Structure 1
Amino acid sequence: MNIRKTDVLILGSGLSGLMSAQLLSSEKNVIVLTKNRLEDSNSYLAQGGIAAAVQADDSWYSHFLDSIQAGCHHNNKSTTKALVREGPAMIEKLIEFGVGFDRDSDGHYQFGREGAHSLSRILHVGGDSTGKHVIEVLKKTISEKDLVIEGETAIKLIIQNDRCLGVWSLNDNGEMTANLASAVVIATGGYSGLYPLNSNASTITGDGVALAYEAGTSVSDMEFIQFHPTLLMKNGLGIGLVSEAVRGKGAVLIDENGEALMDGQHPMKDLAPRDIVARVLYRTRQCGKQTFLDIRNVQDFPQKFPTITQLCEKNGVSLEKGIIPIAPGAHFTMGGIDVDGFGKSTLNGLYAVGEAANTGVHGANRLASNSLLEGLVFANRLAGNLLKEPSRRLPAELEWSGMEILKESPSHAHLREIMNKYIGIERNIDGLKKAAEIFNQLLQYTKRIEVPSLEQVQLRNQVLTGWIVATSALQRTESRGSHYRTDFPEKDDRQWKQRRIIRRKLEHESIKSSSGA
């Protein structure tokens, strides 16, 4: 059995993971584990930019209000203030690292506008490839320091005396390794990849949440899943994202008859909060109509949005008529591993950052382009906290005791259809109970094996995460933001109460292993 030891072990190679590694590696020994290549992350795919109040006519308080209102007043106000107040400093840090944000001909930064923002405050790099450019800058330094181990998947946390001391990992050759660390950071992204139509990297299967929950760590707000209004469609399949920045430049959502869909739906029309726009599109499509993004008012579209243009050309979607076929798809998860303002989970030694964590900054519905900002700000806070922590004595030996897998092996496609059918853009009690029952039945029957396959690990993670989402959605008996229940119509803002539903493994006795049964 292979054993590695380090000060900080980071699971995941998205923006939050790499920024954490960058900030820690000058004083700590750091290892970054990633299941595929370093570039396989949602951050790398991010077309949208980074929201930050850096203009003279903007303020952190304006950004704060926009975040709270988009989040339907469910945000943690303390961490949301930290997000918007510390954001500008992180922009400066990226510039120091060598990130070149887009400027106009006079050398001034270009600021885009996206949904639910009261003014233009979004910084981009390369038009619509911000995530890729930022990751490439961080990747250079991280690669030079040789911190990343690619092709290894974390499959089980190592717990001793109620403290996380590392993680067991499995590589593509079926080899097990015990990775021991004074601090373990989960930065594996969210769980929108559990849906058939989604904007996520193929590596996103809910692993981080499942790892933490299995170890008894609290998770919260798992019912809040944001569906992006505009995924590019072809032959009924989603083939990529069309950034909200396109609507910020004047594009309009229309149906097959050319009717503007957001007229009369919200004062901000096509730049309304994402949950509202997604529901309008969903209902239009439920009526049998196709939906499109009309880009005829966007001047110099190929120059402004080269990534989207290339995506369309690659998939044979013509831009000549000025309309792009789109549909809403799962995009971002607001809930996750419950953490404080510095990434600490409820389990000693375990931390989380980025989309895998629930810092409370997104509330019930994330404000556009706050996700990369969250990754930066809370990676910085996490690193500052961990730099103060002493290294701990780690065990010299460990014994692997095998792992529980599902006796029945449903396909990924089948699991995704359950999520889509019962826990989608609109939900109700009957569908949620059905999903919870299906997932719970699968979890009842397991068997212990010596070395699981990656497929077996990911299937169990998907089922467990799906079950948590379904039971969470059942517990929230209201409609709020991205959690829309048709049996509980949305309330007026003044009637909402802050209810952060936190779950721990011990509260759910319905999941019981039947190993050997």
Structure 2
Amino acid sequence: MRAGDVVDCHVLVIGSGGAGVRAAIEAARYGETVLVSKTIAGKGGCTPMAEGGYNAVLRQEDSCEIHYEDTLRGGAFLNEPDLVRILVKESPQRIDDLIRWGAVFDFSNECELAQRPFGGQRFPRTCYAGDRTGHEMMMTLIERFDSSGATKMEEVTVIDLLKEGDRVIGAFALDENGDPIVITADSTILATGGGARVYDISTNSSSGTGDGFAMGYRAGAELIDMEMVQFHPTGAVYPYDARGRLITEAV
């Protein structure tokens, strides 16, 4: 292996959907950060495919407590309550980040961020950018990432995590030519999405092949709630060339 095939960083982020890119933006504030994507960053993952919107409490008549209750009910009370609390509390702050970074969402005639009603919500709570909300979010995050100082490695496939004792110290990967790369890191974030491509028909991205589940499991991580497979609830089955095409909940 050539010396140039070893990359060292403070934080390694594996995955370039919305979660991975947002994590890399935050991590870059604290040290050298490397984002590894087996696709072109911003093109893979489910985030750019999302059409419908982003839920956040922004109106006086609404509240985080109501959002919390609606989310638990929508999840048949199987949700992890602490994670739901974090979600509903921080979602207004995170959409504020996106708008400050240049995301163009729809606004009402009263010059307020537009919100529409989606499933299981007692108040209109869904912010949107036409029918391309995920794409707008993803492009905004990529632009912010490009100015964060973090490094992007595209079309690089992580094969496995590297360990020293019980601690993950990075990852082993292959570039687009099949040449090996070792990436060492103080911290490693798995943001590799799901594995719904094991199903014949899926509205998820074709890159969702479950790599992160397997790597995490081999490294000793405990996998929980594996029966909870995320699909968009509405998608096309016919004609054949439309199988898996997402249909927005807004319909």
So what's the TM-score if we normalise by structure 2? 0.93
Shift of 1:229: 3.3
Q: Over residues 158-199 of structure 1, what are the superposed CA-to-partner deviations in whole Å (9 max), with x where a residue is unaligned?
A: 011110000000122110111000000000111122211111
Aligned with residue 40 of structure 2, among 37, 58, 73: 37
Unaligned residue ranges in structure 2 (runs of 5+): none
Q: Alpha carbons of 1:33 and 1:227: their partners in 2 closer, same or farther (altered >3 Å)?
A: closer
Shift of 1:106: 3.2
Matched, 1:180 2:180: no
Matched, 1:8 2:11: yes
Give the counterpart of 2:128 among 116, 121, 124: 124
Mark the CA change 1:92 to 1:228 in structure 2 (over 3 Å): closer, same or farther.
Answer: closer
Give the residue type in structure 1 aligned to 2:246. L
Aligned partner letter, 2:239: N
Deviation of the 1:49 alpha carbon: 1.0
Determine helix, strand or coil for the equivalent of 2:103: coil
Match of 2:245 in 1: 240
Determine the C-alpha separation between the residues in 2 that align with 1:157 and 1:146. 20
Matches of 2:44 and 2:13, distance apart in 1: 15
State yes or no: 1:74 paired with 2:78: yes
Secondary structure of the structure 2 residue equivalent to 1:196 = coil
Q: Does 1:230 align with 2:248?
A: no
CA apart distance, 1:239: 4.7
CA deviations 1:126-158 (Å, max 9, x no partner) are x11111111111211323436211010110110
Which blocks of at least 5 consecutive residues in structure 1 are unaligned? 247-517
Q: Alpha-carbon deviations, 1:23-59, whole Å to 9, x = none?
A: 2213310000000111212111111211011111110
* Alignment of 1:139 onto 2:142: yes
1:442-453 aligned within 5 A = none
Match of 1:58 in 2: 62
Residue by residue, what CA displacement relative to the aligned partner does 1:295-354 show, whole Å, maximum 9, x if unpaired? xxxxxxxxxxxxxxxxxxxxxxxxxxxxxxxxxxxxxxxxxxxxxxxxxxxxxxxxxxxx
Instruction: Tell me the equivalent position of 1:339.
Output: none
Structure 1's consecutive aligned runs of 4 or more residues displaced over 6 angstroms after TM superposition are: none
Decide which of 197, 200, 203 is 1:199's aligned counterpart: 203
RMSD: 1.4
Q: Percent identity?
A: 30
Alignment of 1:373-384 (within 5 A): none
1:264-292 Cα distance to aligned partner (Å, 9 max, x none): xxxxxxxxxxxxxxxxxxxxxxxxxxxxx
Question: CA offset at residue 79 of structure 1?
Answer: 1.9
Q: Deviations over 1:414-437 (max 9, x none)?
A: xxxxxxxxxxxxxxxxxxxxxxxx
Query: What is aligned with 1:297?
Result: none
| Change over 3 Å in CA distance of 1:69–1:146 after alignment to 2 | closer
- 1:28 maps to 31
Match of 2:106 among 102, 109, 113: 102
Take 1:140 and 1:93, find their aligned partners in 2: how far apart are those partners? Answer: 13
Query: Aligned pairs, how many?
Result: 245
Q: Which amino acid aligns with 2:181?
A: T
Larger Rg: 1
For residues 145 and 230 of structure 2, the distance between their equivalents in structure 1, rounded to whole angstroms, comes to 31
The 3-state SS of whatever aligns with 2:200 is: coil
- Give the secondary structure class of the aligned counterpart of 2:113: coil
Kindly report which structure 2 residues correspond to 1:377-392, keeping only aligned pairs within 5 A, or say none.
none
Structure richer in helix, relative to its length:
1
Q: What amino acid is aligned across from residue 135 of structure 1 in structure 2?
A: M
**2:94 counterpart (73, 90, 95):** 90
- Aligned amino acid, residue 85 of structure 2: K
Partners of 2:70 and 2:145 lie apart in 1 by: 34
8 Å Cα contact 2:155-2:176 kept in structure 1: yes
Contact kept? 2:33, 2:150, Cα under 8 Å: no
| Structure 1 CA distance for aligned equivalents of residues 74 and 224 of structure 2 | 19
Are residues 1:18 and 2:13 paired?
no
CA shift, 1:226, in A, is 3.8
CA distance in 2 between counterparts of 1:99 and 1:115 reads 24
CA distance in 1, matches of 2:115, 2:209: 33
Matches within 5 A, 1:465-480: none
Q: Which residue identity is paired with 1:64?
A: Y
Q: Counterpart of 2:188 in structure 1: which amino acid?
A: V
Q: Give 3-state SS (helix, strand or coil) of 1:229's partner.
A: coil
- Partners of 1:8 and 1:160 in 2: how far apart? 16
| TM-score calculated relative to the size of structure 1 | 0.46
